Amino acid sequence: MANHWNPSSRFHRVTTVRLAESPPTMFRPLAGVLTVIVGLALFPHAKAFAEERDLMRIGIIGLDTSHVPAFTKEFHRKPSIDPALEDFRVVAAYPHGSADIESSASRIPKYTVEVEEMGIEVVDSIADLLSKVDCVLLETNDGRLHLDQALEVFRAGKPVFIDKPAGSNLAEVVAIFQAAEHYAVPMFTSSSLRFSPGAQEIRGGKYGRVLGCDAYSPCALEPTHVDLFWYGIHGVETLFTCMGAGCVTVTHQSTDDSEFAVGIWSDGRIGTFRGIREGSGGYGGTAFGDQGIGPIGPYGGYRPLVIEIGKFFRTHQPPVAPEETIELHAFMQAAAESKARGGVPVAIGEVMDQASGKAEQLLQGKLDPK
């Protein structure tokens, strides 16, 4: 039977330590001093938490990405820069991520030390971490590990944000969403580019109805992941933020220096993604609307995403529809298939059918009975 999330267990009471309710007058100054000393000993670097308050405890899985210290600093910032981030505390982290992607594995020692210096307990297992927290940031940079790591979180009934890439291929992404639905556990996954102010303004109608969009981003490749999943996902997320769901076919061309995917939407709109590996990089693009044409604007940093994560941990309502998130991963899978076939159009429905069958195999024997 699934261990569903229990809202009554979301909060962890942190209280100051008192020698007695009413110590003798001559000992009251000493009692106050000891209260502060003991409180700071229990929570290093957390003077702001010495008073009684409710905290939502966050656990981090994977210490192989710069997102870990960046996100943690936003949650710990005092005073909070947004009400959605108040009264959170990262309390535990499980360090192990990729073992064979050098750019990820080499970061683990550095970020392990960094989180320890922030007063976060480093634990030896995901099970240990889950016993100490109310919600989870799954930050492992290697998408191949996400399904098995997420399954542990789902079984424990903890809401989870899964950082990009959600998986190394579409089948893994579909399996993760199916497992979350099976256990009825709130989750979402997104690139931080989705919540950049410019992209959100276009989504909200800045140029009216979006008739087309050209998005771009850096696009390093990782052989263990489908091409665009590793880093091109940032620009693809921007494209879907502006265009919305509804893509039906993808055509893709690739050279040593760039990737170029063209999507046709069901209503005839065209959206493109350019992945950059040579020359000037950056994030952005152009949106074409029925009321104007304009730039998507620059990258807005991590903070807008972290604010959305904070809202999600409180409400359990994902800010992105699962169907749209799955479709943008299908766009990237179809682009890879088009590339393999010499640049012919590939239907989103085709890659979804293939991925659904593979997802079923990936989950076989791994889901507890309802």
Residue 155 in contact with residue 128, Cβ under 8 Å? no
Whether 31 is in a domain gets the answer: yes
Domain-embedded: residue 24: yes
Sequence-ordered list of residues with C-beta below 8 angstroms from that of 210, at least 6 positions apart, any chain: 202, 242, 243, 244, 269, 287, 288, 289
Does the residue 213 lie in any domain? Answer: no
Q: Does 297 fall in a domain?
A: no
Has residue 40 been placed in a domain?
yes
In a domain, 105, yes or no: no
List the pLDDT tens digit at each of the 370 positions of the chain. 443 333 333 333 332 322 233 333 333 343 343 333 333 344 444 434 433 358 999 999 999 999 999 999 999 999 998 999 999 999 999 999 878 888 888 889 999 999 999 999 999 999 999 999 999 999 999 999 999 999 999 999 999 999 999 999 999 999 999 999 999 999 999 999 999 999 999 999 999 999 999 999 999 999 999 999 999 999 999 999 999 999 999 999 999 999 999 999 999 999 999 999 999 989 999 999 999 999 999 999 999 999 999 999 999 999 999 999 999 999 999 999 999 999 999 999 999 999 999 999 999 999 999 7
In a domain, 29, yes or no: yes
- Total domains in the chain come to 1
- Domain region containing 22: 17-50
Give the strands of the sheet with 270-276, arranged side by side: 292-295, 284-289, 210-218, 270-276, 258-265, 247-254, 346-347
In-domain check, residue 25: yes
**Whole-prediction pTM value?**
0.85
